[in-house]
Amino acid sequence: MTKFVRQILSIIESPKLYVPVITLLLAIFLINASNKVIKKILIKNSKTLEIKRRNTIVVLIQNIIKYLILILAFLICLRVWGIDVTGIIAGLGVAGLVGGLALQDALKDIIMGCNIILDNYFVVGDLVRFNDFTGEVIEFGLKNTKIKGADGTVYVVANREISKIFNLSQKTANVIVMAPASYENTEEEVAKVMRDICAKIDSWDDTLDKTEYLGIDSLNDSAVNYCLRAFCKGENQFVVRRRILALIKREFEANNIKIPYSQIEVHNGKRI
């Protein structure tokens, strides 16, 4: 019995047993601690980061750290058991290098996706302009972003290509509208109506600051262009512009301000 107890104690006291156990427990502790720290750090940005994307990046970082800790713990256990891990580490390095080269575009997409999230480039629902395409961000992933244009076209762009993008929702948009009026109406008549229009625009909920009447912008062949500038959130600029045009038409009609259209006059003269 004493011999058996001694054998048990020798096994328990052996580093080959207690070191792997301690390593495993320490790995679990580090994984749980890192998960809490990551969540706490990203919660500070919860007002600016969209919840779905924040959860995505939290899970991504947690998984990366978890696998790194588990790989390190596994290598420590192998070393304690007398297995040479030098060859394994070299093999992992070569495999990682080959995998990195094969999946470098995917890795670039994921890295850029993380940058977009952390730097708050945009959130789902923002109005953005990428190259010559303007639309609403309808879906965001770690590999690509989907932008929907006003005509319903969905533009899918790889995240690695988004090095420069204009977020129209994070700034105040200037909505400049031209109102064509006939030469038959005097400047004073049109200016009075335009100032009344500006006052009505200021009462709208989707406009910001004070709408400005800028005066005559150009003298065209058949019309005088009067100009005003309104301010609104970037995502509302197209709606506000359409509302302003409709208001101008109604007010011009109500105040006998003629909106001209292109005309051709034909004169009968003597035959040459």
List the domains of the chain with CATH numbers: 2-102 (1.10.287.1260), 122-167 (2.30.30.60), 172-254 (3.30.70.100)
Q: Is the distance from CB of 139 to CB of 155 less than 8 angstroms?
A: no
- Residues 208, 201: Cα–Cα separation, whole Å: 10
- Residues 131, 56: Cα–Cα separation, whole Å: 27
The pLDDT profile of the chain, 272 residues, written as one tens digit per residue, is: 565 555 555 555 566 666 777 778 888 888 888 878 777 766 655 554 455 556 656 666 777 788 788 888 887 777 777 776 666 666 666 556 555 555 677 778 877 877 777 777 777 777 888 888 888 888 877 778 889 887 888 889 988 888 788 887 766 778 899 999 999 899 999 999 999 999 999 999 888 888 999 999 999 888 999 999 998 887 788 889 999 999 999 999 999 999 887 666 666 655 54
- Name which of 128, 154, 158 is nearest 143 in CA terms: 158
Pair of tokens at residue 179: 């109102």
Backbone region of residue 232 per phi and psi (left: phi > 0; alpha: psi in -120 to 50; beta: other values): beta
pTM of the model: 0.48
Q: What one-character DSSP code corresponds to residue 256? A: T
SS3 141: coil
Nearby residues of 256 by Cβ (< 8 Å), 6 or more positions away: 185
Amino acid at residue number 247: L
Beta-carbon count within 10 A of 127 CB: 23
